[in-house]
Structure 1
Amino acid sequence: MKLYIKNMVCNRCKMVVKSELEKLGLQLLSVELGEVEILTTISEEQIMRISKKLETFGFEILNDSNSKIIEKIKTILIDLVQNKNNDINITLSDYLIQNLYQDYSKLSNLFSYVEGISIEKYFINLKIEKVKELIVYDELSLSEIADFLNYSSVSHLSNQFKKVTGFSPSYFKKIKESKRKELDQL
């Protein structure tokens, strides 16, 4: 049985969910971003217990199919930015089609309707948050960050960064205030 879980966006989230579900005595087959596969079927009562427990950590079990699709899109995009952004050589729309086996226009319309933002803008926001993280860590040059996040140039990254944040990357690097947002807040 699969459960789709909202706000499960990082490895720490996966560890918390796995730990809490195991404490409830559940045998897990897999724990992925936004998704948990449980070995056996579980009752509605168990789902309610799981839901209550996970809510204390800011997670929510998704019940309707549209919510599950939205969460899958977000999970794929977060994974793409965090782990695979430089590994793909296809468009974002084709990448989502390959991973979700659904028409992109349907996915795009649903996402925009529910989230109030396009998939592309959401993806850009994720990338900019990753740029902020990498700038704050100060381990890579802006050129290396642009390459790492698959930007066509430093200029493209800088223009997009300024459009989203209102700051140039170099100015942001100087202030290094808490201008970052948590991924589940995007």
Structure 2
Amino acid sequence: MKLYIKYMVSNRCKIAVRDELKKLGLHFIVVDLGVVEIMENISMEKRMLLRQGLLISGLELMDDKKAILIEKIKTIIIEMIHHSEEIIKINFSDYLSEKLEHNYTYLANLFSEVQGTTIEQFIISHKIERIKELMIYGELNITEIAWKMNYSSVAHLSSQFKKVTGLSPSHFKQLKDKRRNPIEDIG
């Protein structure tokens, strides 16, 4: 049985979910970002206990099919941008359509309706946050970051970065207090 969990964006979230499942004596096959597969069917009582336990960790068990689809979109984007070491060289719209087996126009309209922002804007916000992270680590220069994040040029990255943050990448690097946003607060 699959369960879908909102706000599950990191390894710490996976650990919190595993702990809650163990407390309830539920056996999991997979605990991944946004989705858990358990071996048994879950009773309404255990479902409520799981829901309450997850809420304590800031996570939410989901039942609504549209909400689940929105979370799947977010999870795929977050995994590609924040958790993949691969260079982002894909068309996100094609990738999302293929992965979720839905027409991209449907996904985009649903996402905008529910989230109040576009998938594209959500992707840009996450890419900018990842760029901040890469700049703070200092392992890559801005040209390498632009290439890794699939920007056509450093100028394109810089213009998008400035539009979102109000700062140029070089000005951001000079700041003593480099502000980043938690993944779950982006978009």
Gaps of 5+ in 2: none
Measure, in 2, the Cα distance between the counterparts of 1:157 and 1:60: 34
Q: CA deviation at 1:143?
A: 1.1
Gaps of 5+ in 1: none
Q: CA deviation at 1:84?
A: 3.8
| 1:27 match | 27
Measure, in 1, the Cα distance between the counterparts of 2:176 and 2:122: 23
**Aligned pairs (5 A) from 1:21-170:** 21-84=21-84, 86-87=86-87, 89-170=89-170
Aligned with 1:61: secondary structure?
strand
Q: CA RMSD in A?
A: 1.4
CA contact (8 A) 1:85 1:149 kept: no
- Which portions of structure 1, spanning 4 or more consecutive aligned residues, are displaced by more than 3 angstroms? 83-90
Measure, in 2, the Cα distance between the counterparts of 1:79 and 1:16: 18
Q: CA deviation at 1:106?
A: 0.6
Kindly provide the CA deviation profile for residues 110-165 of structure 1, in whole angstroms up to 9, marking residues without a partner as x.
00010000000000000000011111112211111111111111111111100000
CA contact (8 A) 1:136 1:176 kept: no
Count, aligned residues: 186
Q: CA deviation at 1:91?
A: 1.5
Aligned with 2:51: secondary structure?
helix
| 1:2 match | 2
Higher alpha-carbon deviation: 17-26 or 99-108: 17-26
Identical counterparts, % of pairs? 50
Per the normalisation by structure 2, the TM-score is 0.95
Measure, in 1, the Cα distance between the counterparts of 2:87 and 2:178: 29
Aligned with 1:4: secondary structure?
strand
Measure, in 2, the Cα distance between the counterparts of 1:25 and 1:115: 35
